[in-house]
């Protein structure tokens, strides 16, 4: 299975600021998926990130608010821009195991906006 490292693991952020979350994978992967888990809720897909192309965003998520970079096959970043308390969530990076179709998750980045 893929080993996924996310940074930061936790942060407390000031309203109006932006934070970039990094996701590093120990193997080359085609697609990376970014999810958000709001407190007490399930996971919602933010966007799918393919190396070398623009990320594809789900309804309700826009590039200006959640810009994503995917510079190579093992790395991606998600920025949460102009944060408000409603952005307090766990943000999770995930990748697909090429062989077994399983999607694996990082430990998540736990953001609290004050």
Partner 1 sequence: AQSVAQPEDQVNVAEGNPLTVKCTYSVSGNPYLFWYVQYPNRGLQFLLKYITGDNLVKGSYGFEAEFNKSQTSFHLKKPSALVSDSALYFCAVRWNSGNTPLVFGKGTRLSVIA
Alpha-carbon span 31 to 25, nearest angstrom? 11
Stretch of 16-24, 25-33, 60-68, 78-86 lying at the interface with partner 1 (CB under 8 A): 25-33
| Closest distance of CB 109 from partner 1, Å | 9
Cβ atoms of 74 and 94 closer than 8 Å: no
The total number of residues written for the chain in this structure: 114
Q: Is 38 in the site for partner 1 (CB under 8 A)?
A: no
Beta-carbon contacts of 25 under 8 Å, excluding residues fewer than 6 positions away, are 2, 3, 4, 5, 32, 74, 75, 95
When binding is defined by CB under 8 A, the residue of 20, 31, 79, 81 that contacts partner 1 is: 31
- Provide the phi-psi class of 108: left if phi over 0, else alpha when psi is between -120 and 50, else beta: left
Q: What x/- string results for residues 41 through 80 when contact with partner 1 is judged by CB under 8 A?
A: xxxxx--x--------------------------------
> What residue ranges bind partner 1 (CB under 8 A)?
1, 30-31, 33, 41-45, 48, 90, 92, 94, 96, 98, 100-108, 110
């Amino acid at each position: 299975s893929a080993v996924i490292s996310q940074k930061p693991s936790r942060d407390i952020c000031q309203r109006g600021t932006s934070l970039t979350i990094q996701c590093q994978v120990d193997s080359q992967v085609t697609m990376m998926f970014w999810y958000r888990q709001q407190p007490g809720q399930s996971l919602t897909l933010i966007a799918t990130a393919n190396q070398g192309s623009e990320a594809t965003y789900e309804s309700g998520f826009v590039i200006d608010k959640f810009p994503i970079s995917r510079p190579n096959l093992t790395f991606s970043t998600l920025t949460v821009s102009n944060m408000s308390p409603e952005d307090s969530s766990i943000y999770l990076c995930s990748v697909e195991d090429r062989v077994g179709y399983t999607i694996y998750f990082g430990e998540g980045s736990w953001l609290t906006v004050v």
